[in-house]
Amino acid sequence: MIKNNAVLATVVFAMAVTVSSVSYTFYQLYENNRAKHIDNIFSKHSLISQIYHTYLVKQISQPIFEANLALYNLDEVLDHHAYEAIVRYGKVLKSDGNTADDLMQDFSLPSSSFDTHVSQQVITSMIEYQGNIYFWVESARHSMLLEDRSIEPYHPVNLISAYGTLMMILLTSFALIIYRLRPLRHLRKQIARFGEGDMGVRFRISGSDEIALIANELDSTQNKIRALIEARTLFLRNIMHELKTPIAKGRIVATMLSDEKQRGRFEGIFERLESLIGEFALIEEIASGNQHHQKSEYRLIDIIDGAIDLAMVEYDAVERNIDASIKVEVDYRLFVTAAKNLIDNAIKYSPEKKMRIWTEEGEIIFANTGEVLKHPLGYYIEPFTKEAPTKDSFGLGLYIVDAILKEHDYILAYERRGEYNCFICVPAKIKRR
């Protein structure tokens, strides 16, 4: 499936990589901006810690401490239940800790003023709860929760808008690419139909893009091919028709000859010409692919019997060892012709004028005794080639056999087995050892 839609798969893969990359980049931007926002807010914690520590060491009174908190929009959370809920369920954004000595260094006050106080840890944590920001300040002696009314949690509205806009552009581009590629699937189906011999198929597509230009060029080429095929078919039919008429007249005239030797010679010549025309017609039918052959199941033994009748040889000359239950799905007329040519070829080149036919693991074997072939099988499959000149052969027999077998998904093979030359019809789906 992927091989048949490689272009679409590539586009989908590229789209997935692009979306993933953009999404990851925006996620990193979100994390970085959020971290900076939190850091900027948390920078306020040092001031809160200093105010809290001065209050702790009794350097400022309660009213002044509350006034300092109000100055920075900080309210102490006094409700016990709210305090517990925020501390327990709030999300800690950041936390830091400083000793009293560290805090004193931030003040330009003499450290001797605080020699009587024990150095202690002050921890400030920034908490987000229900859309509000809180500072939880702790020490060994006291803790308090402050709500910052001037600060809001980080809301990446602009970032989300930019991400959504970019995703919309990418998805729209992807949809446009898929829309533009749709004619390719239709074009592929049309080409497949044309390859199967449907000459009425049309490739033309409206538009001026690259796919439409290719389709229209294919349509123009198809018209030229159709014209060539029609011209060739008309030419061959006319030639065959024109040849058959003088041949028929010649055979009639030959019967009027008083010399039997001359009469037999002329009749043989006209029979050869008729046979040649018939073979040409069969070759044209197979090669053109215009005919839609009707394949059905037939018993192999019936096909062999029909081939023997067509070859006009004696049944005693053909030794058959075929199971009557074996069936093959073929075009009867064509397959009988192929078998006939193999039988005729085997008997013609057999010193005994006999041959054998049998099946073996799905293969159909036509064998005769005689000399081993002087050339590879491919030499004899070519048209107008034969082992030795004879008056009864035009060198088209094996060429026709090979063409018919290919139409039926068979392969013609040759083996020398002892004294036998074996021509084997091998189903293409069988892997030979």
Q: Are residues 253 and 388 in the same domain?
A: no
Candidates 229, 217, 230; CA nearest to 191 is: 217
Predicted confidence at residue 293, as pLDDT, reads 66
- The whole domain housing 16 covers 3-39+157-183
Q: Which pLDDT tens digit goes with each residue over 69-120?
A: 777 677 778 888 888 888 888 888 777 755 444 433 443 433 433 333 444 5
- Tokens found for residue 138: 């702790």
Q: How far apart are the first and last CA of the chain?
A: 31
Q: Are residues 218 and 87 in the same domain?
A: no
Predicted confidence at residue 356, as pLDDT, reads 94
Predicted confidence at residue 313, as pLDDT, reads 86
Spatial CB neighbours of 354, under 8 Å, sequence gap ≥ 6: 317, 318, 319, 347, 368, 369
Q: Are residues 413 and 301 in the same domain?
A: yes
How many other CB atoms sit within 10 Å of the CB of residue 360? Answer: 10
Residue 192 lies in a domain: no
Predicted confidence at residue 60, as pLDDT, reads 65
Burial class (CB in 10 A: 0-12, 13-18, 19+), 318: buried
Is the CB of residue 142 less than 8 Å from the CB of residue 32?
Answer: no
- The radius of gyration of the chain's CA atoms, rounded to the nearest angstrom, is 48
Q: Which pLDDT tens digit goes with each residue over 250-303?
A: 878 888 888 888 888 888 788 777 777 776 777 776 666 555 567 899 999 999
Detail the DSSP E strand segments found in 232-321: 296-299, 318-321
Q: Are residues 112 and 257 in the same domain?
A: no
Residue 432 lies in a domain: no
Q: Are residues 412 and 332 in the same domain?
A: yes
The CATH number linked to 307 is 3.30.565.10
The CATH number linked to 239 is 1.10.287.130
Q: How many domains does the chain have?
A: 4
Domain boundary among 292, 324, 340: 292
- Tokens found for residue 419: 């004294």
Percent of the chain with pLDDT over 70: 79
Ranges under pLDDT 50 in the chain: 99-119, 389-394
Q: What dihedral do alpha carbons 379, 381, 383, 385 form, nearest 10°?
A: 40
Q: Are residues 244 and 225 in the same domain?
A: yes
Is the CB of residue 131 less than 8 Å from the CB of residue 152?
Answer: yes
